[in-house]
Structure 1
Amino acid sequence: MAQRLILILLLFLIGDIYFYQAIITLFSNPLIHVIYWLIDIVVLGAIIVTIFLRKRISDIQRYASSLITAMLLIFIPKLFSVPILLLEDIGRLFRNFPPRNFYVSELVAVLAGIVFLAIIFGLTRGRHFYRVRKEILHFSDLPEAFDGFTITQLSDIHSGSLSNIKGVQKGIDLANAQNSDLLLFTGDLVNNMASEMDPWIDLFTTLKAPYGKYSVLGNHDYGDYTKWSSTSLKEANLMRVKEIHSEMGFKLLLNEAVLLHKHGQRIALVGVENWGKGGFHQFGNLNQATAAIPADSFKILMSHDPSHWDAVTVDHAKHVHLTLAGHTHGMQFGIELFGFKWSPIQYFYKQWAGLYQRDGKFLYVNRGFGYHGLKGRVGVWPEITVLTLKRSTDQVE
């Protein structure tokens, strides 16, 4: 993890140095040059201080959010200058390094300005710029009664970060408008405390699905990221989080399964507690969750952290046809255009957004409904997932 953070900081430094070449080409005033580096020194100094004090500041998340925002606004637009200025340098290399072209520097400055405005959009409007993403999944052993069965998945509400009632209502209305048969929520209802959800219970209660609403816990729901005066208070908080799921009409699955019936046939819906790599709790128990269901059942698993799929689910003794996860948020920052998909989170998680398939098993990673840390989304927009299950024509004998 530390090596990756150092690599990211080095990329920022490279972007800084290259963009500065455009600045000195466009502006000869030394004061502008001093201000340029002064801003960088202040931001980098704040990052170093925050990292150094991370164990002694209880409200570190508040500082981290501001620093992440500053880094996006100051460093990311500069990174987009690197390819253009690098290409110019290659050309200058074969021409005995003449001065930089003024118009190339202007192009770089305009591009940086466009990226800066895109980030501003993400920080202001992006947090509720909900996108509906649809996938059709084919299975040869899907019970005939469930051919065409639809599922709406939400994940990572993070109610402690929400503030705009109209914005959240927009997402709720959009989810209901999908008219799916089943609605599933794959964890992280809150940031830290159950009380964060109090203003939003009535609103999320309006979510509807004829075959029910089911949910699991995420890593944030256990209250591990805040300081509690006693263990009993932390335990009471978790109990309250579980009660809120029920109050909103969700059946919370805690290492257990239920059977969904339609026209005399059934599929199994399995839910495990949070299981994650890299220091996250591993409370999820797939063996326990699947113990009481028939081995030949068609199985859909809700598991908050997608790392559970690679580590446990794919090679599990009982075939799990479809796993639904969240957790990554797509890092709330990236590029998704014309089929191209990139985010820094992909260097930490192999499966971080969208649909994955291996050995006849599917994983879908939802990009999240809410936001946390960064108070917005840039390029990786909040998501409402709609999955349609289809019975394929080549049937299993």
Structure 2
Amino acid sequence: MIILIAFNLLVDGYIWAVLRRVVKSRGVSRAYLVSSLLLIVYAAVIVALPRRRGGDSLLLADMWMLYSYFTVYVPKLVFVAVSLFAWLPLLWKRMVSRTVLRIGVLLAFATFVVMWWGALVNRTRIDVSDVVVYSENLPESFDGYTIVQFSDFHVGTYGNDTTFVSEVVDTINGLHPDIIFFTGDIVNRRTDELTPFVAPLSRLSAPDGVVSIMGNHDYGDYREWPSPQAKSDNLRRMHYMQAEMGWRLLLNSSEWLRRGSDSIAVVGVENWGDPPFTVYGDLRKAYPAPGDSIFKILLTHNPAHWVAEVADTDSVNIPLSLSGHTHAMQIEVGGWSPAKYRYPTWGGLYADSDSTHLLYVNIGVGAVALPMRIGATPEITRITLRRGPASLSSPSRSHTRQNNQ
């Protein structure tokens, strides 16, 4: 809190000094000073509220309060960054560039609008990505088989409002897939968040049903529990509720899809945790012979697992893996996302060096921590399997994601 206040004072002190220099009316600078102090008090309340609620820092009200704070201070930072260039003329004993200051104001306002647009509009604008995956090993009976993948719902972000969840369900059902895969993170912190959404999610329908795996948020690792038993009960309830919805949850296990005399294996591993979180996933427990010739689809929440154990590995023969987890950090502009600096496989279709192992990373339909999606619209992926040489049109491991409204 001390660091936050010090940073706010630094930013606001700078902007206040600019106002005093370029605006004749002292009332404007005084009004800004008062509003800045009130915002600091507001930030203190945001930090204090979770402590009074037992540390539940992802409660819906707290999340929106925190986001509203950022929608004010991020634009201020934009203004500060731009306005610094306004002082360069002083080096040549010229006047401060008011034009640059005006540009800073406009960009700050645009940032404010974009952030709220990402929260109020773009966060619920569903995009369907159509992807065709080719493999020479695909059994003939599965040529044309359709999969719908969705991921990272984080339903706790919606409180008790089922509107958007129902819209996602209707969109998926309207695609008429052969099977539906959910690749983890159904909740934020605890299983109880899922309760209001059991009914709409139970409406998902496909001939081969719904198959799911666990994500890092589904284990209760982001919450302090009163006892190990309470955490264990939360996990058991997660397994029970997914079964209640008619979903088949794969816990380091596999199942078979059959078409006539042909079959493929769906391999579901538990979450491959990023440090310091637990690695629950065990590929060889889920499928003891990953190198055999059976066509396999791997469901693994974290794409880092594909990089570590599947890509460019001769002992593993898994033509297609499906992941989520990254959200594209809920920001994607022109095919660029800050997620690329954390995950080399952050969204779209990837291949290893000889294109024998393909990975599709779905950027999710939900939002966590900050209730916004700037450019990175909620994604539902429709994947069509085809017999043929596996390849990407762009260099290996470069994403080729295309969203279709």
TM bin, normalised by shorter chain, reads 0.7 to 0.9
- What's the TM-score once normalised by structure 1's chain length? 0.82
Identify if the C-alpha distance between structure 1 residues 203 and 18 changes in structure 2 by more than 3 Å, giving closer, same or farther.
same
Which sits farther off after the overlay, 16-25 or 169-178?
Answer: 16-25
Partner of 2:396: none
Identify if the C-alpha distance between structure 1 residues 287 and 109 changes in structure 2 by more than 3 Å, giving closer, same or farther.
same
Pick aligned residue for 2:96 from 78, 100, 122: 100
Distance 1:79 1:358 in 2: 40
Distance 1:215 1:112 in 2: 42
Q: What is the CA distance between 1:266 and its match in structure 2?
A: 2.1
Q: What is the CA distance between 1:84 and its match in structure 2?
A: 5.2
Partner of 1:191: 188
1:156 correspondence with 2:152:
yes
CA displacement 1:60-113 (0-9 Å, x = unmatched) = 3348735641453023334545775566666x37x7152233333223322322
Q: 1:186, 1:217 within 8 Å by CA — same for their partners in 2?
A: yes
Identify if the C-alpha distance between structure 1 residues 350 and 57 changes in structure 2 by more than 3 Å, giving closer, same or farther.
farther
1:355 correspondence with 2:349:
yes
- Look up the equivalent residue of 2:322 and give its one-letter code: L
Identify if the C-alpha distance between structure 1 residues 223 and 145 changes in structure 2 by more than 3 Å, giving closer, same or farther.
same
Q: 2:165, 2:197 within 8 Å by CA — same for their partners in 1?
A: no
Give runs of aligned pairs for residues 19-38 of structure 1, distance below 5 A.
27-28=23-24, 29=26, 30-32=29-31, 34-35=33-34, 38=37
Identify if the C-alpha distance between structure 1 residues 373 and 181 changes in structure 2 by more than 3 Å, giving closer, same or farther.
same
Q: What is the CA distance between 1:394 and its match in structure 2?
A: 8.3
Identify if the C-alpha distance between structure 1 residues 104 and 72 changes in structure 2 by more than 3 Å, giving closer, same or farther.
same
Partner of 2:226: 229
Q: What is the CA distance between 1:356 and its match in structure 2?
A: 2.5
Query: What is the Cα-based RMSD across aligned positions, in Å?
Result: 3.5
CA displacement 1:197-232 (0-9 Å, x = unmatched) = 222111111111122210111122212222333322
Pick aligned residue for 1:112 from 108, 115, 129: 108
The secondary structure found in structure 1 opposite 2:336 is strand
- Look up the equivalent residue of 1:330 and give its one-letter code: A
The secondary structure found in structure 2 opposite 1:336 is coil
1:335 correspondence with 2:332:
yes
Distance 1:22 1:136 in 2: 55
Distance 1:355 1:262 in 2: 26
Give runs of aligned pairs for residues 201-350 of structure 1, distance below 5 A.
201-291=198-288, 295-316=292-313, 317-332=315-330, 334-337=331-334, 340-343=335-338, 345-350=339-344
Q: What is the CA distance between 1:166 and its match in structure 2?
A: 2.1
Which sits farther off after the overlay, 67-76 or 269-278?
Answer: 67-76
Q: Number of residue pairs matched?
A: 381
Q: What is the CA distance between 1:286 and its match in structure 2?
A: 0.4
Among all aligned residue pairs of Structure 1 and Structure 2, give the percentage whose two residues are the same amino acid: 35
Q: 2:16, 2:33 within 8 Å by CA — same for their partners in 1?
A: no
The secondary structure found in structure 1 opposite 2:92 is coil
Identify if the C-alpha distance between structure 1 residues 216 and 35 changes in structure 2 by more than 3 Å, giving closer, same or farther.
same
Identify if the C-alpha distance between structure 1 residues 379 and 9 changes in structure 2 by more than 3 Å, giving closer, same or farther.
farther
5+ long unaligned stretches in structure 2: 392-405
The secondary structure found in structure 2 opposite 1:314 is coil
1:369 correspondence with 2:369:
no
- Look up the equivalent residue of 2:133 and give its one-letter code: L
Which sits farther off after the overlay, 116-125 or 60-69?
Answer: 60-69
Q: 2:87, 2:97 within 8 Å by CA — same for their partners in 1?
A: no
Q: 1:12, 1:76 within 8 Å by CA — same for their partners in 2?
A: no
Q: What is the CA distance between 1:275 and its match in structure 2?
A: 1.1
Partner of 1:3: none
The secondary structure found in structure 2 opposite 1:217 is coil
Q: 1:18, 1:85 within 8 Å by CA — same for their partners in 2?
A: no
Distance 2:310 2:13 in 1: 45
Distance 1:391 1:15 in 2: 58
The secondary structure found in structure 2 opposite 1:61 is coil
